[in-house]
Structures are given as structure tokens and as C-alpha cells.
């Protein structure tokens, strides 16, 4: 199985969630073993996609360098990771990725437009060898060895629309596009009002998030899935795990996980070499994985 990039450059313009201003996003092909690279064209700064460049995880996953940052990268990266893309240059002219409709569906469409290109280098993958878990109270995120890739997530909110929801994604690209990619980010009306008072979430609206008051969903079109909330948490988790810089084989499990816990999980995993191994894919395993990303 070979490494991949996109076949041609593609771009879009969308609103940034926090500043509420238009952001131009361009994706460009990269050669083998380059990984995912971010570039702020407005300030001429490149930011590698590595855990040590994460500078904030409170409201989104934010990477930064030299005092400059790029926020809300997880939705776009979720699509990139789900497509199994190994090498890609991500160019933005502002400090956040466009929020689009609050899901990763628009980025899937952009990648479909770009097409995939195989490179003349073997694909590498991270195989989880030991269980790694990060806990905070009753919340936890965990990676454990497995012969395939799955995401198992449970959330619990004291809200009549959400309550407790669980979902398991046995990963394939097709399953991701059908069951995860359209799930939107969500928030509560009182939180939105507070964030706006702090000059944040200025681009947030019912067009790019599911918003709830104390009793109901405020979006007139309702939900895209009955359990859209937990599905979006899986979408986020896939994007957050892309900070490993490589696709992995193993089981991800979470209860009330977050961007912060996901970041801490990537750091904990990479801290000990015996937790994982990086292998070049060949033989039957390569064929099986190639089918998953087809």
C-alpha cells in the first residue's frame, strides 16, 4: 500500500467560527514523507501538525508557533484522516479554519473534488501495542490494541434532548462519510451568549451548529441523526487523533472525552516507545486497509 496525497489543489472560502470573517482555505499536494503541513499565508508562518505545537484545547484544537496560531482544525483534519491522506499542505489566510456547516461534510466534498494520488513510497501506520488511558474524574479517553480501527464514544449531558448517548464506528471511509461526517458541532444558548460577550463565536449561527436552550433544539430543521451529538464527538476525536501525524490501527474509547483529553492521550501514547510501533504496510493487512480507505 502506497502513501497518498491529493491529485490537484482545491480551495474554498468560509466563515471563521470565532472571528466571523471570511477565511480562504487551500489544500495542495505534497510529496512522500512530508506529512500534514499548515501554512498561514497572511503572516508567512508554517506550523507542523504535531502534539508539541498544540497551544489550546478549551473550545477547539489549536496549533501555534512564533505567537501565531490556527484554530478549529479538527473538523477538516477529521475528513483528511478518514480519507487516509498522508501528505498535504493546508493554507489559510487567517487564524482559523472555516467552520462551514459545523460538520466535516464540506471538507469531504472538497477532498472528493481533489481526488487521491498514490505516491511512490510505502504507507506507514501506527499499530497500538499497549493500552494507554487518560482520566480526569469519571471522564476518560483510551487507546488499546486491536486488529482494526474503531471509535467507541459515550457522552452524558443533563439535558432532555441529549441525556446519555453511545455510538461505535467500525471504521471505513464509507461508514465515516455516511454515519459521522454530517454530524454538526453543538452548543447551548447560554454558552453562545457568554462566548459572544468575550468576543468569541462571532461566526456561530444556526447554519453551522446545533444550538439548544434548556429544553429543545433551536434549529428549525432538527437533527441530522437522532444521536448527532455523540457522532460529532467521534468526528472531533478522529480529527484530534490526527495530531499523531499518522493513521493508526487500534481501538479508541471515550466517556465524556474532549479536545483536551484527546491531546493528552496523543502525548501519553508518544511518550513511551513500547506503546506503539510504526510499520510499513504490505501483504494482506495492506489490502484490508486499502479497502477501508477506498
Q: Nearest CA to 77 among 55, 125, 110, 122?
A: 110
Cell numbers 484527546 correspond to: 262
- Selecting among 18, 75, 232, 259, the annotated active-site residue is 259
Question: What is the distance between the alpha carbons of residues 64 and 206, in angstroms, rounded to a whole number?
Answer: 29
- Dihedral angle of Cα 214, 216, 221, 223, to the nearest 10 degrees: 100
Query: Cα 93 to the chain's mean position, in Å?
Result: 20
Q: Nearest CA to 291 among 175, 210, 145?
A: 175
259 is annotated as an active-site residue: yes
Q: How many CB atoms lie within 10 A of CB 57?
A: 17
Q: Which residues are catalytic?
A: 259
Amino acid at each position: 500500500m502506497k502513501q497518498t496525497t491529493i491529485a490537484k489543489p482545491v480551495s474554498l472560502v468560509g466563515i471563521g467560527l470565532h472571528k466571523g470573517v471570511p477565511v480562504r482555505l487551500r489544500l495542495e499536494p505534497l510529496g512522500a514523507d512530508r506529512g500534514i503541513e499548515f501554512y498561514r499565508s497572511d503572516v508567512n508562518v508554517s506550523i507542523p501538525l504535531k502534539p508539541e505545537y498544540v497551544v489550546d484545547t478549551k473550545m477547539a484544537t489549536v496549533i501555534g508557533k512564533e505567537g501565531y496560531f490556527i484554530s478549529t482544525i479538527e473538523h477538516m483534519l477529521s475528513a483528511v484522516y478518514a480519507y487516509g491522506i498522508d501528505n498535504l499542505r493546508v493554507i489559510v489566510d487567517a487564524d482559523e479554519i472555516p467552520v462551514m456547516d459545523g460538520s466535516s461534510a464540506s471538507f469531504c466534498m472538497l477532498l472528493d473534488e481533489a481526488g487521491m494520488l498514490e505516491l511512490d513510497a510505502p504507507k506507514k501506520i501506527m499499530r497500538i501495542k499497549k493500552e494507554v488511558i487518560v482520566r480526569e474524574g469519571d471522564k476518560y479517553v483510551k487507546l488499546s490494541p486491536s486488529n482494526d480501527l474503531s471509535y467507541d464514544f459515550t457522552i452524558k449531558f443533563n439535558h432532555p434532548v441529549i441525556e446519555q448517548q453511545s455510538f461505535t464506528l467500525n471504521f471505513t471511509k464509507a461508514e465515516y462519510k455516511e454515519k459521522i461526517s454530517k454530524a454538526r458541532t453543538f452548543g447551548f444558548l447560554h454558552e453562545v451568549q457568554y462566548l459572544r460577550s468575550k468576543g468569541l463565536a462571532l461566526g456561530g449561527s444556526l447554519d453551522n451548529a446545533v444550538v439548544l436552550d434548556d429544553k429543545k433544539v433551536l434549529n428549525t430543521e432538527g437533527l441530522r441523526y437522532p444521536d448527532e451529538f455523540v457522532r460529532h464527538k467521534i468526528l472531533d476525536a478522529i480529527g484530534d487523533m490526527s495530531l499523531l501525524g499518522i493513521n493508526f490501527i487500534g481501538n479508541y474509547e471515550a466517556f465524556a472525552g474532549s479536545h483536551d483529553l484527546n491531546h493528552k492521550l496523543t502525548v501519553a501514547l508518544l511518550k513511551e516507545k513500547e506503546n506503539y510501533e510504526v510499520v510499513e504496510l504490505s501483504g494482506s493487512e495492506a489490502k484490508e486497509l486499502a479497502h477501508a480507505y477506498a
